[in-house]
Amino acid sequence: MADAVAGLADVRIDYPGRALLGPLTLGVGPREIVALVGASGAGKSTALRLLAGLEQPASGAVTRPAGRTGFVFQSPTLMPWADARTNVALPLELSGVPAAEARRRADDALAAVGLGDRTTARPRQLSGGMAMRVSLARALSIQPDLLLLDEPFAALDSITRRGLIEDLHRLWAARSMAVVFVTHDVEEAAYLAGRVVVLSAADGHVVADLPMPGPLPRPADWRRDPAYREAVETVAEALDRSMERPA
């Protein structure tokens, strides 16, 4: 992908005690939302860590954004003794943003995720969905060019997950950023993303690279649309193929 803002080119990862992962090639275009699906151990989270610069490949090339990258992990990873504002402001202050400006930007980010009235709440006072919103606000506060999300909604109930996905679409539409989202849920992948990439269970190479139909953000009745249901089945079939291992 010539205009990719981030990507992996023939990347291989060598972990002691397991088969070599890759080669994996993945491009992420400007303002694109890409979902990565695959079995546990297929390399989905590894791909995010490579794109974030948290891990280095054994071989191959990694292209990262010229600007900032935000990362939302599987759990909120909040400081339990600090309120929401302080948790969100921390990466800004660590990057040299003056404290007053960091707090202002933290408040703006919390308001954007619907927590403008919970800036002084500590993690123990927040539901699981609220805590994940704080984590998302922290990633957004740095105004990222690339937002990476590693199954952030997996532990949440379906109603909360749906609400957060709608929020993510709204936030994406209002910002100039690309998104890469890891999930095991094929319905979530087909709804959230404009493109779904399926990784092989055997070695993490790309089994399928599937454009998803319909506009982003999704229309209110999109989950009932036949095009969406067909897309879910297409992703599910590709995921089934990804589980096949060489004889």
pLDDT on residue 48: 95
**What is the rounded average pLDDT for all residues in the chain?**
92
This prediction has a pTM of 0.93
pLDDT on residue 16: 74
pLDDT on residue 18: 67
pLDDT on residue 22: 84
Residue in the structure block whose two tokens are 């379906």: 158
Please list the ranges in the chain whose pLDDT falls under 50. 247
Among 195, 180, 156, 199, smallest CA distance to 37 is for 199
- Taking CB atoms within 8 Å and a gap of at least 24, the contacts of 225-231 are 228/190, 228/191, 231/190
All structural domains of the chain, each given as residue ranges with its CATH number in brackets, are: 1-67+145-247 (3.40.50.300), 79-143 (no CATH)
pLDDT on residue 245: 63
pLDDT on residue 147: 97
pLDDT on residue 4: 84
Residues 199-218 have pLDDT tens digits of: 999 888 999 999 999 999 99
pLDDT on residue 17: 67
pLDDT on residue 64: 92
